[in-house]
Structure formats: C-alpha cells, structure tokens
C-alpha cells in the first residue's frame, strides 16, 4: 500500500522534545513500516497563536533550520520535495518524500514579501490561521469573522506563486473570502465533515462541495474529537463514515488522508503511522481497492504534481 499524508505535527513535536525523526515515541518515526511502499509526508511547521510578529517569523526560521538538519542527518530516510517530479523520484528510491508546509500564517509577521521567502524555502502549502486571530484573519473560534485586507493580499500572492492555500482551521466567513478572492484550487489538509461530527473545526457540506468544485483536496483528520461528538467512542468506523459522506458529496477525487499525527489524540487502532495498513485494509474492504488507492495516494499526488 501507499500513503500520502497532507498534515502532521511531527516536525514541531520533535523540535520541542529535542529529539530526531527516528524517535520511536513519535507517531511518525523512521524507518517506517515496510508495508507502506510509497510514502509522501507533509511536515508542518506549526506556529501557536501565542507567538506573534517577528517572534513568529523567527520561530519559523528556527523550525526550518531543524527540518534542514533532519534532512542532512537522515538522507537514507527522506528527501525534500521541491518540484512536481520529485515525489515519484524520491518514493521510487524507497525514501519518504517530505513536503514542507506551514500551519499558521502568523509566521509571516505581517509582511507580504515573506510569502515569497517561504515559497523559495520550499513551503508548498500554508494554513491562513490556527484557531484564533492573526494578521490574516480569524480561525474557527469566531466563525462570523473572515479575512483581513492583509489576509486577502496573502492568498492572492499565494495564488500567484503557486503555494497551496490551506483552509483547515479557518472560519466559515474566511472560507467565503477565499472563494471570493482567488480562482485556484485549494486544500483543507486536516478537516472532517460537520454533518458527521458537529465540531466547529470540521467543514460544512457546502464548503466541502466548493473544494470539490475547485478540484481541491481534503485530508481526513484522525483526531477523536473531529471524528465523533463523543470522542471516547471514536473508532476507525468513524473514519469510514466521514469518507462515505465525502464520497456522497462527490468527493471521489477529493478525499485524502490528513492524519494530524503528533498533534492530537489519535483514534485507537491507528495511533501511529506504522498502523496505517490497518486503516487501508478497512477502507479497501468498505469502498474497494480503486477508491482506497485514490484516498491514500492518487488524489493527493495528482493535486500536488499538477502544482509544482
């Protein structure tokens, strides 16, 4: 089986815990399970809402240096994706294709020129907010408040450069502002559906259908609280319910994986990346092999290959 994961917090967790990416206590660690033949991993630099301005940009810089150091330390395990052809080349060599992303547009420190700086660093995707407010707009804690003028400037610059706009964590009003101000396809890297689980962080059916219409992608999040309103009862079957509803909304070419590993309380049974073959088997049994391959690899791979 293959695994393309649109979001994890492993890089930031390793940085904070002063450990390397081969640490066995991480949800994603290396060497990986040999059952996973091809692996492409989006590694997010997560910037919490308590860091602002120049401190946020300096935080990004520190995390980027850590990412670079890990690439140099473990060349046998992974290599950074910089162009569209890199994903196939790297994975065919048996290594993990590492895509650098950012969670939280506050890392820009309010300066538009830093979008291009991040892009030149190899950042391929960025969420505009985390849960709260920053210079770009407001997150899902305040659904009625959208993007600020700077946020609109940022998404237009991201569109110009070809950096993927990620609407996970964004408010509903902010989502509408994205629709109004750019024409490109975009992503919700780690978001489920509010119809299946009513958490504010999940997408409405209408938002999901707009992503489908734009030929974007949505990554299923493994966080218990986003899978089931009674998170103590969350299970792999809830992952299947979200996939089923996404497919019902026309998401055959949209639904992907967005684990949120090392960033949340993951549902039992797939608590680490090396457990992913268990989920693949469940998805294959429920929806068939062709759809399983799309959900775990092809949809995300096609989306990024077309944009790099």
- Cα separation, 239 vs 188, in Å, equals 16
**Residue whose token pair is 């092999």:** 289
At 260, give phi and psi (nearest 5°).
70, 25
Contact partners, residue 41, CB within 8 Å, separation at least 6: 5, 8, 10, 28, 78, 96, 97, 98, 99
Q: Give CATH for domain 2-24+35-305.
A: 3.20.20.140
At 251, give phi and psi (nearest 5°).
-90, 25
pLDDT tens figures, 292-303: 999 999 999 999
The domain spans of the chain are: 2-24+35-305
CB 185 within 8 A of CB 306: no
Q: What stretches in the chain show pLDDT beneath 50?
A: none
What predicted TM-score, i.e. pTM, was given to this entire model? 0.97
Given this model, what pLDDT does residue 308 score?
A: 81
Given this model, what pLDDT does residue 84 score?
A: 81
Given this model, what pLDDT does residue 229 score?
A: 97
Of 44, 5, 4, give the one whose Cα is nearest residue 263.
44
CB 280 within 8 A of CB 292: yes
- Cα separation, 47 vs 104, in Å, equals 6
Given this model, what pLDDT does residue 69 score?
A: 98
């Amino acid at each position: 089986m293959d695994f393309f994961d649109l979001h994890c917090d492993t890089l930031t967790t390793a940085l904070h815990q002063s450990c390397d990416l081969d640490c066995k206590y991480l949800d994603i660690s290396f060497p990986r399970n040999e059952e996973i033949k091809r692996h492409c991993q989006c590694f997010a630099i997560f910037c919490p809402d308590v860091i602002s301005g120049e401190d946020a940009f300096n935080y990004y810089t520190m995390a980027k240096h850590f990412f670079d150091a890990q690439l140099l330390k473990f060349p046998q395990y992974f290599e950074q994706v910089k162009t569209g052809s890199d994903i196939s080349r790297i994975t065919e060599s048996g290594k993990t294709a590492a895509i650098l992303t950012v969670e939280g547009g506050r890392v820009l420190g309010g300066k538009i020129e830093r979008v291009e700086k991040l892009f030149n660093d190899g950042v391929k995707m960025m969420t505009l907010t985390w849960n709260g407010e920053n210079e770009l707009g407001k997150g899902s804690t305040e659904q009625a408040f959208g993007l600020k003028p700077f946020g609109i400037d940022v998404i237009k610059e991201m569109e110009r450069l070809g950096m993927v706009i990620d609407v996970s964590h964004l408010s509903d009003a902010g989502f509408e502002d994205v629709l109004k101000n750019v024409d490109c396809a975009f992503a919700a890297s780690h978001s489920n559906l509010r119809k299946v689980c009513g958490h504010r962080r999940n997408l409405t059916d209408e938002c999901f259908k707009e992503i489908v219409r734009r030929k974007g992608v949505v990554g299923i999040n493994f966080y218990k609280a986003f899978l089931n309103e009674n998170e103590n009862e969350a299970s792999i079957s809830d992952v299947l319910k979200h996939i089923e509803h996404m497919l019902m909304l026309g998401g055959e070419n949209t639904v992907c994986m967005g684990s949120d590993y090392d960033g949340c309380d993951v549902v039992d049974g797939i608590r680490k990346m090396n457990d992913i073959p268990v989920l693949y088997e469940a998805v294959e049994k429920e929806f068939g092999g062709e759809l399983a391959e799309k959900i775990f690899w092809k949809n995300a791979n096609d989306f990024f290959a077309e944009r790099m």
